[in-house]
Structure 1
Amino acid sequence: MKKRQRKVRLIRAAIQLAFFIFYPALFSTAFAGVKSIFQAIAAHQQIAWNSFLDVTGLLLLVTILFGRHFCGYACAFGSLGDAMYELTVFIRQKVFHKKGRHGYPEKAVRILQKVKYILLAFLLLSILTGWYASLQGMSPWDVFSMLTARKLPNASYKIGIILLVLILIGMCTQERFFCQFLCPMGAVFAMMPILPSALFNRNREKCPSKCGLCRKRCPAHLEIDGDTPLSGECICCHACQVTCPRKNIQIGPVKEREMVKE
């Protein structure tokens, strides 16, 4: 099983690295599309389709059809979070001899997951009220975009730089810290109606008694039961799937899979 886990991790890491190098701005571009809609509404103008909305629309469609695989595989900021967290795990194991993967208690995760919705509402409200312009220089995402474009942010981005550093520290403390707790685009993705064929499911009858490895390994501490109130929080990292000792987790409804096997 460890060999299979290593193989999946390497494939995922390779895909993440490719997107990080060639398409690091997909996240900010997608949110720029959302922002353009609310800017048009605030200005009482007709919403004009633009290149930002091309990316936003495509990613929303992909999310509905296939789940949040963009978050799990293609988002540069999410990939950075994975790298920071895995580096911290490595240091804890090699230097401090700490076993296992660290993170916040499930109750804290559930509470913090709501923060991204509050942040999304705040940003959209600031756009509608015209206050968004005053936030110039405070965006950690703008700073990240500049850095990936090999541009150094100037002094006007001091607050944005500080916030980015704090987010990087948070990434070391909890797997997918930013994606789960602070990503406004993640909040949008989480609210999308994902097709049942794109949701992770398990056949509980085949699960070992008192196992729970999938939930323990899931960064969001999710129950792997398809369409649930929290299924939108799944970032499709496939950690649950490769961790299951009985290969009992698949994408798509359990009944359909059983019918195919029969």
Structure 2
Amino acid sequence: MNATEKAIDKFIAYLSNEDLWILIGEKCLKIILILVLSLLFIRVGKALLNKSFEVRMKSPLRISERREATISRLLQNTLTYFTYFVAIVMILETLSLEVRALLAGAGVVGLAIGFGAQNLVRDIITGFFIIFEDQFSVGDYVRITNFEGTVEEIGIRTTKIKSWTGELHIFPNGNITDVTNFSIHNSMAVVDVNISYKEDIEKAEKVILELLPQLPARYEDMVKEPELLGVQSLGPTEVMIRVACEVKPMKHVPIARKMRKDIKGVLDANGIQVPFAQMMMYNPSNSTKPL
């Protein structure tokens, strides 16, 4: 029997060892149990966090809903990362690997690459101050650089915003320098109404003034009664009248649409026309005819 046959027989004998398969089975069961318990712990932990924030929402000392949603999402992410880390360590111990040596080696390697991970540290620190200073929260509508959207998630390292067309933009926290938050203060709905020069401007303003006190009862997003600011500008074919109204955050666009519809309706009902383009034709007989 040559060396190859001896090695094959030895390997077969090794695989035929019942104690080996019992040990492998025990380790596989332990790993499966660790994974199942980890997933169960994450699910229960998230449910408890959600429950605790629901109870806190009913407290008279609650913080803003925006901030609660942000902190809740951050705590859930932290719980998930921590649980996965512990599960990985337990699985390595189950596989009889020296976890302490691995962690010590990882510390040395981490120190070596730490000088090249400055961006990561900056992202984490910036993310902390974003939450601590309440610059924006989950659910806010913000503009970051040239992108606008609703904040979906503020993580330890990145922030995710979703635009109204569905794109998800992911920003490293360290790259967020200029932020415009549209969701903190009330917005202004501004409507410009064009009136033809041949119409009575005072009549048009009177008609609009009679309409404006009725609008807050129709639209609950209005904070104050709309205000007629007067003639905004004189155009080539029209007189522009401006109406403004303070509304709840991010409600200026839908309220402005509704105000335009209502104002157009009362103007039509009172026979007040908006300007429309006309073309004049000239002929040698010095007569003009509108087209």
Which of the pair is proportionally richer in helix?
1
TM over 0.5, shorter chain: no
TM-score normalized with structure 2 length:
0.22
TM-score normalized with structure 1 length:
0.23
By relative contact order (CA 8 Å, sep 6+), the higher-ranking structure is 1
Larger radius of gyration: 2
Which of the pair is proportionally richer in strand?
2
